[in-house]
């Protein structure tokens, strides 16, 4: 009998007997290959998850990783890949299904979404990733943790070091009382090349405002003459300082774009060039703070001499510590060159002295934890907190999480007005060690004990409520296998770190491969992951996956060079072909706005012996990511590409009507998404068209002819995109295509 608590939006499907639908291996087409697979309805649920992934799937968000995929999507893919054609996937999605005696492999494990979703369905799972940081976070997410031991360890750490760290975030109020500082506000400074005056790199004197300023217009601005913090309207272009009575424009500052103008001599200069010529990272000036008073109020104030003296004491304390932080050079790369351009040569230079002091105190205490599993878990928590406690973060303001983390732009972007958060934190902190324990570790433990799915209530087009449905999945938390032999003997989960083109997995032992491969784009995860890796290595030692001081590897698939990406991806697909059973499917999510992104995937699949049996769009992970909002034609969809060994697929002998096959399928998928109220960008339509094109081409007799036809179809592709994006469902290029396409 279902138990429900409407006030909490919770539905529990467990019965007294814990009845489950148990499905075992089958032979034949799978539900993921059905034309009516409910991708548009799954996308609606995934959309809800995507807005608060860390709350709706906290198990995969105990630590930063890039392109963290949606659990809703991968639950549906796993169900579809391992159930027979004709299965009602929506019904199965909300039933306690157990897919027994089946094995799933993810060769690009990332944050572990495939592994977790498979385990919740009773599937045995193998995960592998070449990056040590990814491997580390998934081990911590899916290993069994005793809740009482975790809570006790945190309390022990708090008892030993919390007060010592908090002491560095105290300030004296005008009435002489002491208060906690939530955040210190800093600004980068550059010496004017003409007169050597220190120039603050403010582009605006407004440093704090509400996330919804039109509704909450009050903001804070710092006076350029006396440094006092003034209350102003967020869009005011003139105000008078309450302290020194000088007039200033709160919306302007010395920095504008890539240049700055010296207030002393009015000389204009290029900021980055001037910093590079100084051969040292830019200096910072402390100018304001946000204080938490004893009665719980938050008060903005100008930084004073006591604040500067407090920082000086932290600098001296740091100098007295032995081996307080990792000293590792930042290597050149697309995602690190911007930081190197500002003369950040070492990873520790991305923190100020007070941050390094507090982090070193915390790291030393975590290193002293005796139990290895617990030591790793709290190192994972520490590593995650680094993202919010460095000089590449900024202030988001009131009405939202206050700290904008350092990877909001997917690059190491030097922040001109960085924010220093309280490392241990208070009850009203954001991004602190204490609050991240509550928000990440506790929340993940709760989810692991009692996983839930989201379900939408109400008709399409209405304002729909969301409920959490419990009782569908097995709990998470496993004794992890260290090699395939241990996995074969019965352990449920096997995680490894290394090149996925070479594994110890037995040939033909995997029932489905479900993954999300990297793109050949410019976000190189390993270059960014080194920021975390050097600290993990500093705490846990230089052993195992942490032998070297970088996560970069010549074997990683991610590569800006198309041919190198194709070769490396193809080698992983070839290993997948070896370990996959002859009846199994390979399913992966993918999107790309450039044609070479699709030809590369097509070539890699065909060379490895795969053909595409189905392809359909589904909600991608990005709903709030900064790069999406900055894109002119953002891609909000992924394509689920479903493949089988070419030996198991019937080859197509077309009569020349290629687009007559592609266009109706693409049009149907576009229409289904629009009927659910989803707005599609031109690039969303593009990936739907491209997926259907490579699906057809992958079934051809020869890879060379498939790639040649793909390369020669640019005009037809653009016409199809224009037709579908504009809402015209017919196929204007069909006749022309028939005359030029030979039988393949």
Q: What are 677-703's pLDDT values in tens digits? A: 999 999 999 999 999 999 999 987 789
User: Does the structure show a pLDDT above 60 at 176?
Assistant: yes
* Cβ atoms within 10 Å, residue 226: 14
The pair of three-digit structure tokens given for residue 398, joined into one six-digit string: 């009131």
Q: What is the pLDDT of residue 239?
A: 97
Closest by alpha carbon to 689, among 717, 710, 658? 717
Q: What is the pLDDT of residue 729?
A: 52
As beta bridge partners, residue 103 has: 124
User: Does the structure show a pLDDT above 60 at 629?
Assistant: no
Q: What is the pLDDT of residue 523?
A: 77
d(CA 200, CA 438) in angstroms, rounded, equals 37
CA distances from 6 to 15, 239, 266, 471, 635 (A): 18, 50, 64, 16, 36
Biggest alpha carbon distance in the chain? Answer: 88
d(CA 635, CA 629) in angstroms, rounded, equals 10
As beta bridge partners, residue 329 has: 346
d(CA 146, CA 374) in angstroms, rounded, equals 9
HEC string of 156-211 equals HHHHHHHHHHHHHHEEECCCCCEEEEEEEEEEEEEECCCCCCEEECCCCCEEEEEC
Q: What is the pLDDT of residue 260?
A: 97
Q: What is the pLDDT of residue 415?
A: 96
Span 108-115, average pLDDT:
97
Q: What is the pLDDT of residue 355?
A: 98
Q: What DSSP line would sit under 82-115, residue for residue?
A: TSBTT--HHHHHTS-EEETT-EEEESS-TTSHHH
The helix (H) or strand (E) run that includes residue 307 is helix 305-319
Closest by alpha carbon to 380, among 9, 108, 132? 132
CB of 473 within 8 A of CB of 62? no
* Cβ atoms within 10 Å, residue 372: 9
What is residue 308's three-state secondary structure? helix
The pair of three-digit structure tokens given for residue 96, joined into one six-digit string: 């306690």
At a CB cut-off of 8 Å and minimum separation 6, what does 5 contact?
A: none
HEC string of 352-367 equals CHHHHHHHHHHHHHHH
Q: What is the pLDDT of residue 281?
A: 96
Q: What DSSP line would sit under 559-579, residue for residue?
A: -SSHHHHHHHHHHHHHHHHHH
pLDDT digits (tens, 9 = 90+) for 613-627: 999 999 997 644 444
The pair of three-digit structure tokens given for residue 125, joined into one six-digit string: 């799972």
7-21, 146-160, 353-367 — which is least confidently predicted?
7-21
Q: What is the pLDDT of residue 23?
A: 66
pLDDT band, very low/low/confident/very high, at 655 (cuts 50, 70, 90): low
CB of 669 within 8 A of CB of 616? yes
* Cβ atoms within 10 Å, residue 553: 15
* Cβ atoms within 10 Å, residue 574: 15
pLDDT band, very low/low/confident/very high, at 632 (cuts 50, 70, 90): low
CA distances from 425 to 167, 201, 310, 389 (A): 11, 28, 17, 11
* Cβ atoms within 10 Å, residue 463: 5
- If you search the block for the tokens 């860390």, which residue do you land on? 54
How do 637-645 and 580-590 pair as beta strands? antiparallel
What is the rounded end-to-end Cα distance, in angstroms, of the chain?
56
- If you search the block for the tokens 């992104």, which residue do you land on? 597
What is residue 67's three-state secondary structure? coil
Percent of the chain with pLDDT over 90: 81
d(CA 370, CA 382) in angstroms, rounded, equals 16
Task: Tell me what the pLDDT averaged over the chain comes to.
Answer: 91
Q: What is the pLDDT of residue 498?
A: 97
Span 147-151, average pLDDT:
97
The pair of three-digit structure tokens given for residue 152, joined into one six-digit string: 């006790």
The pair of three-digit structure tokens given for residue 170, joined into one six-digit string: 């105290």
Span 466-475, average pLDDT:
95
User: Does the structure show a pLDDT above 60 at 610?
Assistant: yes
- If you search the block for the tokens 């569908």, which residue do you land on? 472
Domain residue limits, the chain: 1-144+432-521+558-649, 169-352+390-429, 652-744
d(CA 570, CA 568) in angstroms, rounded, equals 5
Q: What is the pLDDT of residue 657?
A: 74
At a CB cut-off of 8 Å and minimum separation 6, what does 599 contact?
A: 707, 710, 711
At a CB cut-off of 8 Å and minimum separation 6, what does 100 contact?
A: 22, 23, 24, 122
Task: Report the range out of 19-23, 442-446, 618-622, 674-678 with the highest average pLDDT.
Answer: 442-446
pLDDT band, very low/low/confident/very high, at 11 (cuts 50, 70, 90): low
User: Does the structure show a pLDDT above 50 at 251?
Assistant: yes
CA distances from 639 to 562, 574, 617, 721 (A): 20, 21, 4, 16
At a CB cut-off of 8 Å and minimum separation 6, what does 126 contact?
A: 103, 104, 105, 106, 484, 487, 493, 494, 495, 496, 505, 510
Span 604-621, average pLDDT:
95
CB of 488 within 8 A of CB of 481? no
What is residue 708's three-state secondary structure? helix
Q: What is the pLDDT of residue 10?
A: 55
Q: What is the pLDDT of residue 403?
A: 93
Q: What is the pLDDT of residue 627?
A: 43
CB of 334 within 8 A of CB of 561? no
d(CA 433, CA 431) in angstroms, rounded, equals 7
What is residue 285's three-state secondary structure? strand
Q: What DSSP line would sit under 624-682, residue for residue?
A: S-HHHHH-SS---EEEEEEEEEGGGSPPP---S-HHHHHHHHHHHHHHHHHHTT----H
Give the domain 1-144+432-521+558-649 fold.
Answer: Rossmann fold (3.40.50)
The pair of three-digit structure tokens given for residue 295, joined into one six-digit string: 């009665």
pLDDT digits (tens, 9 = 90+) for 708-741: 999 999 999 999 999 999 875 544 343 333 322 3
């Amino acid at each position: 009998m279902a138990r429900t608590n409407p006030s909490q939006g919770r539905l529990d499907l467990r019965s007294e007997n814990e009845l489950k639908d148990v499905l075992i291996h089958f032979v034949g087409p799978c539900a993921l290959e059905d034309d009516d697979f409910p991708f548009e309805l799954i996308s609606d649920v995934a959309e809800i998850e995507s807005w608060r992934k860390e709350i709706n799937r906290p198990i995969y968000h105990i630590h930063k990783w890039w392109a963290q995929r949606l659990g809703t999507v991968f639950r549906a893919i796993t169900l579809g890949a391992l159930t027979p054609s004709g299965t009602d996937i929506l019904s199965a999605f909300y039933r306690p299904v157990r897919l027994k005696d089946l094995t799933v492999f993810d060769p690009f494990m990332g944050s572990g979404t495939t592994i977790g979703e498979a385990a919740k369905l009773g599937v045995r799972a193998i995960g592998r990733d070449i990056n040590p940081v990814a491997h580390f976070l998934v081990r911590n997410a899916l290993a069994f943790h005793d809740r009482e031991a975790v809570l006790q360890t945190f309390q022990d750490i708090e008892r030993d070091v919390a007060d010592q760290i908090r002491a560095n975030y105290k300030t004296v109020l005008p009435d002489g009382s002491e208060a906690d500082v939530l955040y210190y506000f800093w600004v980068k400074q550059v010496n004017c090349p003409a007169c050597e005056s220190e120039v603050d790199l403010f582009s605006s004197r407004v440093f704090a405002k509400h996330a919804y300023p039109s509704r909450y217009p009050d903001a804070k601005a710092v006076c350029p003459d006396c440094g006092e913090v003034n209350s102003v309207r967020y869009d005011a272009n003139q105000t008078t300082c309450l302290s020194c009575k000088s007039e200033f424009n709160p919306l302007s500052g010395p920095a504008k774009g890539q240049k700055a103008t010296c207030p002393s001599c009015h000389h204009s200069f290029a900021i980055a060039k001037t910093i590079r010529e100084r051969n040292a990272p830019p200096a910072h000036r402390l100018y304001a703070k946000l204080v938490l008073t004893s009665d719980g109020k938050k008060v903005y104030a100008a930084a004073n001499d006591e604040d500067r003296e407090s920082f000086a004491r932290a600098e001296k304390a740091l100098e007295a510590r032995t081996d307080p932080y990792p000293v590792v050079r930042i290597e050149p790369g697309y995602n690190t060159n911007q930081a190197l351009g500002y003369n950040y040569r070492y990873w520790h230079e991305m923190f100020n002295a007070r941050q390094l002091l507090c982090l070193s105190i915390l790291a030393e205490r975590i290193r002293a934890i005796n139990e290895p599993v617990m030591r790793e878990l709290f190192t994972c928590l520490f590593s995650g907190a680094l993202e919010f406690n460095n000089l590449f973060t900024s202030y988001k303001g009131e009405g939202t999480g206050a700290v904008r983390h350092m990877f909001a732009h997917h690059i190491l972007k030097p922040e001109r007005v960085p924010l220093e958060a309280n490392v241990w934190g208070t009850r009203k902190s954001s991004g602190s060690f204490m609050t991240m324990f509550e928000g990440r570790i506790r929340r993940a433990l709760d989810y692991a004990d009692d996983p839930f799915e989201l379900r939408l209530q109400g008709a399409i087009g209405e304002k729909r409520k969301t409920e959490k449905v419990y009782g569908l999945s097995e709990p998470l938390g496993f004794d992890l296998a260290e090699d395939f032999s241990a996995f074969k003997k019965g352990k449920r989960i096997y995680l490894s770190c290394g090149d996925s083109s070479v594994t110890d997995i037995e040939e033909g032992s995997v029932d489905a491969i479900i993954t999300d491969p990297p793109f050949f784009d410019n976000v190189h995860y390993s270059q960014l992951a080194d920021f975390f890796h050097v600290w993990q290595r500093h705490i846990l030692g230089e052993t195992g996956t942490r032998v070297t001081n970088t996560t970069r590897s010549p074997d990683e698939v991610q590569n800006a060079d198309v041919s190198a990406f194709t070769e490396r991806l193809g080698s992983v697909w070839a290993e997948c072909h070896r370990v996959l059973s002859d009846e199994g499917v390979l399913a992966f999510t993918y999107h790309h706005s450039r044609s070479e992104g699709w030809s590369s995937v097509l070539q890699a699949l065909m060379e490895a012996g795969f053909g595409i049996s189905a392809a359909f769009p589904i909600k991608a992970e990005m709903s709030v990511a900064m790069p999406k909002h900055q894109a002119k034609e953002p891609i909000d969809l992924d394509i689920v590409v479903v493949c089988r060994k070419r030996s198991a697929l019937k080859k197509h002998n077309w009569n020349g009507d290629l687009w007559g096959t592609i266009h109706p399928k693409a049009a149907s998928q576009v229409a289904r998404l629009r009927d659910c109220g989803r707005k599609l960008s031109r690039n969303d339509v593009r990936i739907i068209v491209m997926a259907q094109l490579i699906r057809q081409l992958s079934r051809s007799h020869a890879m060379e002819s498939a790639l040649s036809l793909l390369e020669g179809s640019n005009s037809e592709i653009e016409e199809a995109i224009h037709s579908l994006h504009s809402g015209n469902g017919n196929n204007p290029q069909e006749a022309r295509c028939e005359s030029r396409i030979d039988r393949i």
